[in-house]
Each structure stands twice: as C-alpha cells, then as structure tokens.
C-alpha cells in the first residue's frame, strides 16, 4: 500500500535511476559574530568542488536571510503543477495565517530544466487550529509539512524554518546558486552541496539540503541504517517522503534536540556513537554511563555507514563524520568565521589565509555557534 | 573555470604556469606539453583544488606547486620530483611507483595508497588510512615520512615499505590513532614515542630498533631535513620504536579447514 501511494505521488517527477560511483561535495560557513555573508560566497566555494558532483543535484541553505519576516515560518514549496498548488494552498489556508506568498525568484540558466513551480510562504499556525490540536507551533508545522508531503500530489515542502531558506534543484551546485540568484541574499550561516546520486534518484526533492523547521543537512556518503532510522522516526510522526537517506538526519536532529531536549554535542554522540570498545576504555564512570545509556536508549537513531555531513541551524553549524572517517571533512577558522568542507581548496577559495586548518577526528563534531543575537 | 587560459612562460628548460581558475584537464595537459618539449622544471602558481597533477608522468621533471593541489596528486607517477609549498588534500601519491613528493604542510587521508616506490615527505600531520596497502619488491621500497601525527588505520594491510612518524607539532593527541598496522604483513613502521596496545592491529608487535634500523632512520631524518629545511637535529633514532608484523602470513590458515 505504501509503495502504491509512492507511485502515485511520484507519477510525473522525472527520475534517473542510473547507479554511479559516489563523491558528493560539501561546504559550509558560519560567522559566529552574526556578520552577514553574501550567498555568492558559498557558491564560489562550491564551484571548486564541482568534480565531486555530476549535475544531478545542488543546493544551499542560508540562515538570517529573511530578517523582514523573521517571526514567520518560511515555507519553500515545489509544485509539479497548479493542481497541486491549489490543493496545497487550500490545506495551508485552513491551517495557517499566511502573511505573504510569492514565487521564489530565479533566473533561467543553462543546465537547469524541468523547473517545478517554486513558491515561498511566510506563515504562522492559526491560533484556533493550535488550540484545537493542543500542539505547540513547531509540532503543528512538522505535522503540516508531513501532511503536505504525503497527501498532496507532486507537492513537497523543502524548507520550513524561520529566517532561513533552502534552495535546491537538479543541476550542479554552481548553476543552482546562479539559478536562485543567491547573490541577492545575505546570511550568517550558509551550507552548500553538490550531488552525485548513487542509490537514489536525482530529482528536485532529492537534492540537498534536507530540512525540517530549523534543521538543514547536507551529506556525503550513505546512511546504511536508513531503514532502522526511518521506522524509528515514524513512531514519532516523521514521514520520509523524499527518497533519499539523508532525510532521516534532519528529522533525527529535530527529534533529539527540539523534542527530546538533548544538547547538540550529546545528539552528535547519538548519531555517531563511540564504539563499545572505546566506551569501555574511557576510564570515567559518569562518561561511560552516559555513553552506554545513549547507545541503549537511542540505538535506532545511530547512523551507520560512511558519512560526512554539515548541519545548519539558527544558532550554529555542525560538521560531523562517521566513526571511522570514510568520507572527507576539513575545518578552518578565520577570526570569528568557521568553515567546514569536503576539501581544503573549497575553503581556501573563499578564505585565502585561515588562522587554522585541521581535519576533525572521526565521529567528533566541529561546532560553530552564533554569539549573541542577530 | 574551464575557459580560463593558462598563462605560461618558458625560458630554456624552466617554465611557470598560472593555474588560478584553470580546470585540471587543461592544466595537466599543459604540464604534459611542457614535459614533452623538454622542460625540466615547472612552477605552478595559484593552484587551488586542481586534481590529478603529475598523474602517470614517467619523467624526472621537477614540479613546484604554490597553493593547495587537489586530490590524487602524483597518482601512478614514476619519476617526478614534486614540491608543494602548502597543504595537500586526499590521496596524494596513490599507487606511485617512483619519484618524490615533498609537502610543506599537512596532507589528508589515504596518503600513499598502494605505493610501490619513491618517497613521500610531509612536514605536518597526515590523515586517516596513510600508507595502506604499501608494498615493496627488491630495490623498490616506498617510504613515507611525516613530521606530525597520523589518524586511524596507519599502515593498514601494509605489505612492504617504510613509514616514519615524528609526532611533532601542537596538541596532545596520540601520535597515531586506532587500528595501527591492522592486517599488516610486511614492511616496517617507525614511530617516535609510544602507543597503547589497544591501538595496535592484532598482526603487529612493538620492537626495539636494531643497529640497522637506527641507521635507516638517521639517514631518512637527514634527507627529510634537507628537503624540508626544518631542523630536526634534536630528534634521535633512539626515541623511536618499531612496529612490525610478527608473521608474514597472518591469514595463512584462514581458509584451511
């Protein structure tokens, strides 16, 4: 039944199921002092990683890009056709107070075709709907996103946070940046991705970043534990609809950090848990108990397989590797800015002389946090 | 990137190329062209992320790289002498056969994979999976010397050759990570300092240096110092320990029933 629903949902999306070797490219930066950086900077960094992608997916997330609507959820939605848009807008009208809805600006560029309808809406849940459902606004929004993604034909919400936005397409990362006119946005955090799809189709919804509310993820590798993670997330109401393993990382972060209240570094211990042998040799009982408890309680949230990912959220940015470092990740700092990327050259392209460049140890997060307000 | 023209200047046997913004295919094509014309020394300026530099080149050309070269620098090469005046990325010296690569900075993961000859000198840290699957045959003995520390899987599945780790630089992390020499069945690893048993692969043991080892390490240190211009005179061969496989056929009985 579920498969059937998926067939219907994806009836018209063009899907390329060729299998090719993997090597996605990642890059991210955060000005921890909140200084605004133009979107063209992350595009320039991604340009250097072009060999890592194959033109079947590129994307970005920027934080601090909608200051004039910062109290509203900014929903970026792709529609296959006007019918889906009509159905979706009816569903949204019933649940949301929409401050404004507009087409996401883009320019036509060579290499990007079959453009869906791309719209964004700044909205808040209707108070009476919140009361009726007895839900917090964030939970209400997650539920609405899941409802749209699972029930409205050819329609996908690909960004739903506040004062942030995801921009993604089938194309190489640099052309996607040009397509969305990213030079017209400024933000304090940017993450970018160039895709080389391997096990799942190269389609618009499958490009990175993957987002829910505040959390956006770009990823290189494979989440071999996808099935376990997906079933675990379903118990909490998250529905994986985008046909790509990375989707679970965004939902796991929302669950662990927003819902369960885990601190970020503890959430990273859940996603890339130390091996039992390393826990046994910690030599610190409290730490040992903590790490054992996390593995036991959150065994189904452990990410297995090779991965490097960069997560953006409103208060910071995180880079994390799998526990045996099967994908590249490099970090650098310059003054208040933290950079994380698949390759040092992508950092050096936008920061010629960093104060420090290093390779983060496997399974240990690199975290940049916003200082003060923006 | 592909459209930018390579500015080049060639005087006698030396040439200089401006690689800034030039796609790797064009850059590497120009390098090969220069070598074919008899060029003996090539300086590449403004390099940033271009892959496959000097790959498969079988000539004794000297190539100086200013900037960060991309992945697979010097893969399959057999003869060139490469100097990188900056950091390097992943997969340097992949399956290289002869020649020398000197990196005046740190290098990334999978350095010297399947290396079968020549030398790789890195002044800083090296990443994960360094020197894995290295092998040697008669006079073909590959050597990697790194001035800093290494990540996990150092010398994994090593079948021959020499790894030397000096452990210099800031920080207090161990000189190498876990799974040291896992599956190793030939060659030798020399490390300055100690490692715990839990870091070792089950096929290797720690040995003291013999006279012959001390000579080998002293000779390599001298060469490393001359090439990098860094003073390592305070480092003594006596500070090293040696990691070797204690059986050269660790899996000899694995498929015997």
Angstroms from B111 CA to nearest CA on chain A: 13
Q: Is A24 a catalytic residue?
A: yes
Instruction: Give pLDDT, residue B248.
Output: 64
Grade residue A58 by pLDDT with cuts at 50, 70 and 90.
very high
| B49–A48 C-beta distance less than 8 A | yes
What confidence category does residue A1 fall into, taking pLDDT thresholds of 50, 70 and 90?
very low
Q: How far apart are CA A233 and CA A246, in angstroms?
A: 13
Q: So what's the pLDDT on residue A322?
A: 97
Minimal C-alpha gap between B211 and chain A (Å): 36
pLDDT tops 70 at residue B141: yes
What pLDDT is attached to residue A8? 56
More confident of the two residues A124 and A202: A124
What is the percentage of chain B residues whose pLDDT exceeds 70? 92
Report the distance separating Cα B229 and Cα A111, nearest Å: 48
Mutation target to probe the A interface, by most A beta carbons within 10 A, among B4, B27, B48, B198 is B48
pLDDT reported for residue B247: 74
Flag if B90 and A328 touch (Cβ within 8 Å). yes
Name every chain B residue with its beta carbon within 8 A of the beta carbon of A51: 24, 51, 70
CB contact under 8 A, A348 and B48: yes
DSSP state of B180: B
Nearest-CA residue of chain A relative to B179?
A324
Min Cα distance B150 → chain A (Å) is 10
| Residue B109: closest C-alpha in chain A | A328
Q: Is the predicted pLDDT of residue A46 greater than 60, yes or no?
A: yes
**CB-nearest partner of B1 from A47, A324, A343:** A47
Alpha-carbon gap: B12 to the closest alpha carbon of chain A (Å): 32
Chain A residues closer than 8 Å to B173 by CB: 361
Q: What is the pLDDT of residues B167-210, one digit of tens each?
A: 998 778 899 999 999 999 999 999 998 899 999 999 999 999 99
Weakest-pLDDT range from A126-135, A257-266, A272-281, B113-122: A126-135
Angle at A295 between CA A236 and CA A142, to 5 degrees: 20
- Average pLDDT on A139-150 reads 96
| Cis amide bond preceding A26, omega within 30 | no
Where along chain B do its domains lie? 1-76, 105-251
CA atoms within 13 A of residue B107's CA, in its CB half-sphere:
35
A70 contact B CB<8A: no
Res. A373 pLDDT band, cuts 50 70 90: confident
What structural domains does chain A harbor?
Answer: 2-65+101-112+162-369 (3.60.20.10)
A349 touches B: beta carbon within 8 Å:
yes
ipTM value for the complex: 0.93
Instruction: Let me know if domain B105-251 sits in CATH 2.160.20.60.
Output: yes
CA distances from B169 to B105, B106, B129, B194 (A): 11, 11, 20, 16
- Catalytic entry in A24, A88, A240, A268: A24
pLDDT in tens, A328-342: 999 999 999 999 999
- The verdict on A306 touching B (C-beta cutoff 8 Å) is no
């Amino acid at each position: 039944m579920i498969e059937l629903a998926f067939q219907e949902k994806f009836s018209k999306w063009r899907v390329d199921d060729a299998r090719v070797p993997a090597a996605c490219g990642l890059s991210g930066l955060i000005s921890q002092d909140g200084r605004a950086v133009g979107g063209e900077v992350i595009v320039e960094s991604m340009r250097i990683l072009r060999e890592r992608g194959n033109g079947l997916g590129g994307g970005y997330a920027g934080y601090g890009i909608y200051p004039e609507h910062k109290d509203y959820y900014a929903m970026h939605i792709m529609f296959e056709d006007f019918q889906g848009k009509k159905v979706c807008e009816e569903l949204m009208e019933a649940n949301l107070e929409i401050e404004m809805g507009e087409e996401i600006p883009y320019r036509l560029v060579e290499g990007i075709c079959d453009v869906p309808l791309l719209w964004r809406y700044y909205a808040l849940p209707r108070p009476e709907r919140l009361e009726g459902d007895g839900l917090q606004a964030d939970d209400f929004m997650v539920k609405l996103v899941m409802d749209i993604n699972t029930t409205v034909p050819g329609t996908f919400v690909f960004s739903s946070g506040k004062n942030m936005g995801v921009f993604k397409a089938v194309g190489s990362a640099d052309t996607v940046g040009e397509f969305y006119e990213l030079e017209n946005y400024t933000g304090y955090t940017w993450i970018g991705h160039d895709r080389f799809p391997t096990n799942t189709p190269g389609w618009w919804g499958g490009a990175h970043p993957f987002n829910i509310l505040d959390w956006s993820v770009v990823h290189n590798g494979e989440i071999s534990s996808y099935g376990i993670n997906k079933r675990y997330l379903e118990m909490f109401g998250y529905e994986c609809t985008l046909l790509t393993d990375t989707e679970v990382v965004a939902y796991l972060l929302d669950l662990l950090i927003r819902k369960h209240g885990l601190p970020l570094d503890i959430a990273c211990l859940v996603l890339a848990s130390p091996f039992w042998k390393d826990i046994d040799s910690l030599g610190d009982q409290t730490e040992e108990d903590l790490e054992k408890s996390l593995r036991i309680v959150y065994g189904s949230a452990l990410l297995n397989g090779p991965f490097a990912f960069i997560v953006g959220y409103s208060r910071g940015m995180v880079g994390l590797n799998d526990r045996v470092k099967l994908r590249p990740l490099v970090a650098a700092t310059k003054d208040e800015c933290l950079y994380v990327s698949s390759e040092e050259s992508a950092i050096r392209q936008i920061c010629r002389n960093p104060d420090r460049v290093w390779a983060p140890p496997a399974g240990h997060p690199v975290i940049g946090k916003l200082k003060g307000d923006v | 990137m592909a459209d930018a023209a390579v500015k080049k200047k060639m005087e006698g046997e030396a040439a200089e190329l401006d690689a800034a913004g030039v796609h790797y295919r064009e850059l590497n094509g120009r390098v090969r062209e220069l070598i074919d014309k008899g060029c003996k020394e090539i300086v590449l300026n403004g390099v940033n992320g271009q892959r496959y530099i000097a790959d498969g080149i079988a000539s004794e050309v000297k190539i100086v790289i200013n900037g960060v070269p991309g992945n697979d620098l010097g893969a399959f090469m057999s003869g060139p002498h490469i100097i990188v005046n900056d950091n390097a990325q992943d997969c340097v010296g992949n399956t290289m056969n002869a020649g020398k690569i000197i990196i005046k900075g740190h290098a990334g993961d999978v350095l010297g994979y399947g290396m079968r000859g020549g030398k790789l000198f890195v002044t800083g840290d090296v990443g994960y999976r360094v020197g894995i699957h290295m092998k040697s045959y008669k006079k073909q003995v590959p050597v990697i010397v790194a001035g800093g520390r290494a990540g996990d899987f150092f010398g994994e599945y090593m079948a021959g050759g020499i790894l030397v780790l000096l452990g210099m630089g800031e920080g207090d992390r161990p000189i190498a990570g876990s799974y040291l020499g896992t599956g190793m069945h030939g060659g030798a690893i020399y490390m300055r300092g100690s490692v715990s048993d839990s870091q070792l692969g089950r096929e290797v043991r720690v040995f003291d240096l013999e006279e012959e080892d001390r000579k080998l390490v002293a000779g390599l240190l001298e060469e490393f110092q001359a090439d990098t211009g860094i003073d390592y005179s305070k480092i003594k061969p006596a500070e090293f320990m040696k990691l070797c496989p204690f059986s050269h056929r660790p899996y000899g009985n694995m498929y015997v029933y």
